[in-house]
Structure 1
Amino acid sequence: MAATINDDTQSIVVGNGSDRVAINLKQGPVDQSQSFLLTSILIEMGDIEIRIRRSAQGTDQYKKREASLPTSVRSAPITYQNGNQEKKNTAEEKPNAHQTHWDYSISHGPHMWGRIFPQIQCKKFQSPIRIYTDQCEYEPELTRRPFVFHADENCCQTLENTGHSFQVSGKGSSSISGGPVPDEYRFLQFHMHWGSNDLEGAEHVVDGVRLPGELHIVTWNTSRYRTPQAAAASEQFDGLMVFGILIKIAPSDNQEVDKLLNLFSKIIHKGEKVDLDDETVSLKKLMPKNMQDYYTYDGSLTTPMCSESVRWIVFREQMGLSRRQFDQLRQLKHACKGENSTTNGNISQNFRPVMPLNGRLVYRSFC
């Protein structure tokens, strides 16, 4: 058994690898420093995930009480996940048939996307996935086609709060070639996924380990498509190439990412945007030093409409962010300024659960 304490949050983990139970507790009010509120339980058994989470409304009610714990807290819906087969308790409200809003909440989150957008239900080759190195097929041809990456200093031009994450976009000159595809790609945007604690956040799970974050650098195929929109909607696994960089907890700040975090005060709310100077962030410095060791497979976008137009590159080398920097990510708001929200409004977690392989092969470029 291991316990990780981060400020007022305590996480207790039993087991390891693909079989573990993570119990997350939140410290009580100041005058009840010895009390803890159960916020969520995550059970992982191989390819099966069971997540139990307290509703945000119940958590907020608890925080407002300084004298004692609330006498009653609404039970959180329970979602059972086994591949793409999911069940929820009958108390959960059904979404409006014309609802197009999506997020990562209980009512509009990943387990509801198929009902909000019915066309997602028929898709079979979805992302993210679990990757096991010893089950991946080694492809020596990948080592003979190293990635060649070029990007101008003005490649990253805007920083925006999309309501689901932060996003850095640009139209500067860039190109990337090599790897598993013969075409040339151009940088489109990058964003990040994270969780509410150190035990979750990454979308891809490698060798049974889920890290607390994942950076996605999205590029589009300029050899075959005229626009990024056409590439993203292609459903041909070649429209986009997305580079996934898994993020671990580091003892010190990531200086390159810190340049962006220093601007977060200007994009706290959804829709807020700020222009970036040429020297603000370097796309090259975000890429791992070793770009030649990676996993690759055919998959999809991990947000609606989950188009199956992506060739995924998940790098073996990881990036590090400090706990302070992860806390800064969680301060972004998912709502527009002045918009009423029943929750605290923070983007505390924004990752999609793993999806079934359905017969797909995952390749690796290293022995």
Structure 2
Amino acid sequence: MATVIDNDTQSIVVGNGNDRIAIHLKQSATDTVQNQSQSLLVTSILIEIGDIEIQIRRSTKSKNEYRKENILSTSTQSPAITFHNGDQQKEPITEEKPNANPEYWDYSVIHGPRMWGKIFPHIQCKKFQSPIRIYTDQCEFDSQLVQRPFTFKFDENCCQTIENTGRSFQVTGKGSSRITGGPVVDEYQFLQFHMHWGANDLEGAEHVIDGVRLPGELHIVTWNTSKYKTPKAAAASDQFDGLMVFGILVKVVPSDNQEFAKFIDLLSNVTYKSEKININQATIALKNILPNDTQAYYTYKGSLTTPMCYESVCWIVFREIVGLSKRQFDQLRQLKYVCKGDHSTNGNISQNFRPVMPLNGRTVYRSF
């Protein structure tokens, strides 16, 4: 097993592939410039053994916050140890007060992915859920995918608003669009795009490719206009063709991504949940967000990765990976899941991805 330490000594990874231990550290806040022996604090530990994941996180709460027993906290960094094994997960070692809304969900300990099956019982019956682990050598090459290349047509009004949903940002618009080709025979239209990320640079992407989990994943959601009258009907269809979601994996690179900066730099205007702003026409061009190579991808039948987790998705996960700088990832982590004026917690959306789910006999195809 090998140990890898990145350039700023913030992450230590022991092992690789499906068996590894990743330790994320940060400099102690008590260190000063004059202090020659700087100390590092462990902020999180991720242990992966095959399909089993064990996450240990350091709480970001202050001592005063722990004394406030009457304050509800849904922080995604609550102190807990969570075990993941497909869709079978054990209880954490801590407890939190439930939200008054019985159908409320988020990415915290008590309302997060391990509890979605209890909050929404129908999810327990689902067998073809997303995201999944994808292994290139186990995918089946489909020559038909090569013969049916994707075509993307977006007009300038596709991206008109950006909103903080309390779980991510979301970009939407009413411009006309047309997506055809690939593994589908129908015509699809752009609906929205959003992103998933983690508390550090060792997690955040929902799909895991060849044992590698990247720090982010952007999803472009489109809906089938040939068979369904509304996006809602398409999403709830449970027919694997209602939606087609394009997953773009994101890694850390030294420099800012200038195309992604066009919407990431707007996030400071929607810091709090439910904040929403209009975007000037043509500020964000969807065609420029896509990877350069849109014809090399993995595809499989799956589900939404958020409740209600409908199994209505034809997934397209591009092979090409795009990059964001550390600064840009930090901008994402500054978004808050609380409304403006709620000072009970720091409220940052530091983690908003669902653990991988069992494949359950599905075939993953590839176009390359």
TM-score, structure 1 as length reference: 0.91
> Which of residues 107, 111, 116 in structure 2 aligns to 1:108?
111
Structure 2 contact 249–318 (Cα < 8 Å) conserved: yes
Match of 1:284 among 283, 287, 305: 287
Return the alpha-carbon distance in structure 2 between the equivalents of residues 326 and 78 of structure 1: 24
Please name the residue that 1:345 is paired with: 347
Alignment check: 8 A CA contact 1:294 1:364 kept: yes
CA distance in 2, matches of 1:181, 1:148: 12
Give runs of aligned pairs for residues 64-83 of structure 1, distance below 5 A.
76-83=79-86
Structure-1 residue corresponding to 2:53 = 49
1:239 equivalent to 2:242? Answer yes
- Which residues in structure 2 correspond to 1:9-158 (within 5 Å)? 10-31=10-31, 34-57=38-61, 60-61=62-63, 76-89=79-92, 91-93=94-96, 95=98, 99-158=102-161
2:158–2:286 contact (8 Å) kept in structure 1:
yes
**Structure 1 residues 223-274: Cα deviation after superposition (integer angstroms, max 9, x where no partner):** 0000000001111110000000000112211111111122222101010111
Aligned mates of 1:96, 1:196 — CA distance in 2:
23
Partner of 2:71: none
Residue 360 of structure 1: aligned partner? 362
In 2: Cα distance, 1:218 partner to 1:338 partner: 31
**DSSP 3-state at the match of 2:6:** strand
Counterpart code for 1:299: G
SS at match of 1:81: strand
Please list, as runs of the form range in 1=range in 2, the aligned pairs for 1:257-272 lying within 5 A after superposition: 257-272=260-275
Give the match for residue 71 of structure 1.
none
What amino acid maps onto 1:247 in structure 2?
Answer: V
Q: CA deviation at 1:94?
A: 7.5
Match of residue 162, structure 1, among 139, 162, 165: 165
Match of 2:70 in 1: none
Closer, same or farther in 2 for the Cα pair 1:203/1:191, shift >3 Å? Answer: same
**Aligned with residue 276 of structure 2, among 260, 273, 276:** 273
C-alpha displacement of 1:336: 0.8
- Which segment drifts farther, 207-216 or 21-30? 21-30
* Counterpart code for 1:25: L
CA deviation after TM superposition for structure 1 residue 96, in Å: 6.6
Q: 2:336 matched to which residue of 1?
A: 333
Which of 207, 212, 215 is the aligned partner of 1:209?
Answer: 212
* Residue matched to 1:183: 186
Unaligned runs of 5+ in 2: 67-76
Distance 1:55 1:100, change over 3 A: farther
For residues 60-97 of structure 1, the C-alpha deviation after alignment (integer angstroms, 9 at most, x for no partner) is: 34999xxxxxxxxx993322111111102454357479
Paired with 1:294 and 1:250, the residues of 2 have a C-alpha distance of 22
Note the C-alpha offset of 1:26: 3.0
Calculate the TM-score normalised by the size of structure 2.
0.91
SS at match of 2:159: coil
Q: Which moved more, 1:21-30 or 1:74-83?
A: 74-83
Give the deviation of 1:99 after TM superposition.
2.0
1:316 maps to 2:331: no
Specify the SS of the correspondent of 2:341: coil
Q: Supply the RMSD in Å over aligned alpha carbons.
A: 2.1
Shift of 1:115: 1.5
SS at match of 1:298: strand
How far apart in 2 are the matches of 1:250 and 1:25?
A: 19
Aligned to 2:201: 198
Report how far residue 3 of structure 1 moved: 2.0
* Identical counterparts, % of pairs: 70
The aligned amino acid for 1:18 is N
Report the AA paired with residue 59 of structure 2: S
Asked if 1 retains the 8 angstrom alpha-carbon contact of 2:206 and 2:217, the reply is: yes
For structure 1, list consecutive stretches of 5 or more residues without a partner in the other structure.
Answer: 65-73
**Amino acid aligned to 1:317:** E
CA distance in 1, matches of 2:340, 2:256: 29
**Do the aligned partners of 1:41 and 1:52 also contact (CA within 8 Å) in 2?**
yes
What letter matches 2:12 in structure 1?
Answer: I
- SS in structure 1 opposite 2:291? coil
Question: Residues 304 and 337 from structure 1, CA distance in 2 versus in 1: closer, same or farther, beyond 3 angstroms?
Answer: same
**4, 7, 21: which one pairs with 2:6?**
4
Structure 1's consecutive aligned runs of 4 or more residues displaced over 6 angstroms after TM superposition are: none
Question: How far 1:279 sits from its partner (Å)?
Answer: 2.1
Contact 1:197 1:212 in 2 (8 A): yes
Equivalent in the alignment of 1:307: 310
> C-alpha distance in 1, partners of 2:64/2:208?
33
Query: Which residue of the partner structure matches residue 68 of structure 1?
Result: none
SS in 2 for 1:225: coil
Provide closer, same or farther for how the CA distance between residues 266 and 89 of structure 1 changes in structure 2, counting only shifts above 3 A.
closer
* 2:69 matched residue in structure 1: none
